[in-house]
Structure 1
């Protein structure tokens, strides 16, 4: 993880860049993205597990209890893993750089979303999902965590791009400034959902009558929500693919070391991993939005 990489590694004896600047070793970028990939994709694994469990539940004609338990279990695993990662980073002596700041905020976003899945334990206990304050809290938390995670992954990609291609790190105050901007935006957009809520029709409720967590109720038009959420997610995926592709080409062009070229290949795996874990969810949501047939109704 880049937050754990010693600053001396950032300026090594690497080849010279296009403008005569020191070429920053791609190992730095790879170490950052290797761990970021693992932790940032946990919440998408949770969501994809939800979809797959729904399909299995429908095939087996059960009452939905098994899928709720599966979602809660993956939420607990994800939450525990992210919590350990946060504590591990905070325990490090050099955990005060820009990179660490970005990764920590990403982990906090993942932690929030995993907590949203863990909240489904309450639905397991009462054997039903009922609209109300608890349901609203779960929906808002998962929305904040989801948008926050996508935003921080994107910022980490931009940071890595600047380090690798331009051989410089952004000013620390940019990272500090990004913290309130990202979180306040995610909170504002998530709470905005409740502003359109009608007294007799809760905004967050079960979806399709057999859901594993609270999300936008069937009575509401989800178009504008998908436009906001999906535009952020799809833009993030596109930017990650483009910037990592540029970094891959840059490393191959300005480095003759076999080690660096191997690292470039590993670096591109970050994009592949992230996209493979997010595209199923994107395609599932978009298919339901545009009226295309889906294995399970949204």
Structure 2
């Protein structure tokens, strides 16, 4: 009944720009009916992958939510303070919304048509409009978070971090409301094999959707490129400091590599469809087969991100939740300590063993490497110099002064830290 009521409400406006909403055609037409054999097979694949993504993301969201609620049974501190876990939770939530949008394609398979007047078309457009760019923005947020903590030794305050998360979701909702407010309910039309924004509104497509996808991809790749270049320089500079320090940097390189998998997967799965839509805007629309293939890639984003999180959660870069002025002061003194502090696990379970303490570290599990290994301060060289001072009388003593003029030596041992260098 609720679905029927919503469909009746949304069905207002039987025409758009003088075009009947019951005419048949391809992309941009109000109705695609019946579906071609290729469209039908493509939608079956897309729906199957979307169902897999929706199931895996739902299970992972349920698991993390359970840990948020009953954290005392598993952790020594509230897991909601672990910024990495919170970012991953929101990324998986965006993937869930995206998979929800694609799974509505089951409706088109069932009725052998894609109709703008169907309430499912509106819901699919909204799901894809908010899910696609938000996935990219949270991948970018993870990259920014990693960069700030590893190379700038900057940790966002909890309130600032929460405000950033809320701000991203508000932005995503606004980008979804703008097309509806500007053009009404029928801004979502059949688009090759599913519903999305009609080609009549290319500027709206670009500025409320694709520009944020491309921006997320560009800045994410740029940040990770900078991190890898700087890490390579650090490894070269640390080569003279001994094998142990090189091993620490190699572990950090492995961690950043794991984090870089997320944007690589996101770009590989979203770029084909985004490029196809941009080509369509330029008058060179790809084939139906291309769009079905690109849509299939995007539909499995949720499954891929969930799988990556499960595989890398114990060996991926996580922040130490150092807060307060003491952490800010320490960041000015020794930025190399961030490299050590950042070597911790995504699952804050159990105590962390590290000999470097800057402010308060709230991460609670050891990262990649051997269990129980303490990470010593990287790049510290202490030299001790002993100075011997000898004094003697400047003239021959007389017999009466034998006691007072005996030759005497004084040895002074000074331990002077001549060099105290920190690896960069």
What's the TM-score, normalizing by structure 1?
0.70
1:197 is aligned, of 172, 183, 189, to: 183
Q: Deviations over 1:251-280 (max 9, x none)?
A: 222242243444455555554443333332
Greater CA deviation, 253-262 or 138-147? 253-262
- How far apart, CA to CA, are the structure 1 residues paired with 2:264 and 2:132? 20
Question: Residues 169 and 271 of structure 1: is their aligned pair in 2 closer, same or farther, counting only changes over 3 Å?
Answer: same
Does the 8 Å CA contact 2:136/2:266 hold for their aligned counterparts? no
Q: Deviations over 1:164-199 (max 9, x none)?
A: 112232111122112321122211221221223368
- How far apart, CA to CA, are the structure 1 residues paired with 2:263 and 2:187? 34
- How far apart, CA to CA, are the structure 2 residues paired with 1:265 and 1:190? 33
Does the 8 Å CA contact 2:179/2:204 hold for their aligned counterparts? no
Report SS of the residue matched to 2:114: coil
Paired position in structure 1 for 2:168: 182
Is the aligned partner of 1:77 residue 2:57? no
Does the 8 Å CA contact 2:114/2:195 hold for their aligned counterparts? yes
Is the aligned partner of 1:163 residue 2:144? no
Does the 8 Å CA contact 2:221/2:263 hold for their aligned counterparts? yes
2:137 is aligned, of 117, 134, 151, to: 151
- How far apart, CA to CA, are the structure 2 residues paired with 1:103 and 1:198? 33
Higher relative contact order (CA 8 A, sep 6+): 1
Note the C-alpha offset of 1:244: 0.5
Question: How many aligned residue pairs are there?
Answer: 232
Report which of the two has the higher share of helix: 1
- Runs of 5+ unmatched residues, structure 2: 1-35, 236-245, 292-424
Question: Residues 116 and 160 of structure 1: is their aligned pair in 2 closer, same or farther, counting only changes over 3 Å?
Answer: same
2:214 is aligned, of 229, 234, 241, to: 234
Paired position in structure 2 for 1:281: 273
- How far apart, CA to CA, are the structure 2 residues paired with 1:266 and 1:113? 24
1:217 is aligned, of 188, 193, 198, to: 198
Paired position in structure 2 for 1:292: 284
Paired position in structure 2 for 1:246: 226
Report SS of the residue matched to 1:206: strand
Does the 8 Å CA contact 2:276/2:285 hold for their aligned counterparts? no
- How far apart, CA to CA, are the structure 1 residues paired with 2:95 and 2:263? 18
- How far apart, CA to CA, are the structure 1 residues paired with 2:38 and 2:270? 28
1:104 is aligned, of 70, 74, 89, to: 89
2:107 is aligned, of 113, 116, 122, to: 122
Question: Residues 227 and 260 of structure 1: is their aligned pair in 2 closer, same or farther, counting only changes over 3 Å?
Answer: same
Q: Deviations over 1:195-238 (max 9, x none)?
A: 23368xx221212xxx33211234x2323322332221111111
2:63 is aligned, of 74, 85, 88, to: 88
Note the C-alpha offset of 1:287: 1.3
Select the structure of larger CA radius of gyration.
2
Question: Residues 110 and 124 of structure 1: is their aligned pair in 2 closer, same or farther, counting only changes over 3 Å?
Answer: same
What's the TM-score, normalizing by structure 2?
0.50
- Runs of 5+ unmatched residues, structure 1: 1-60
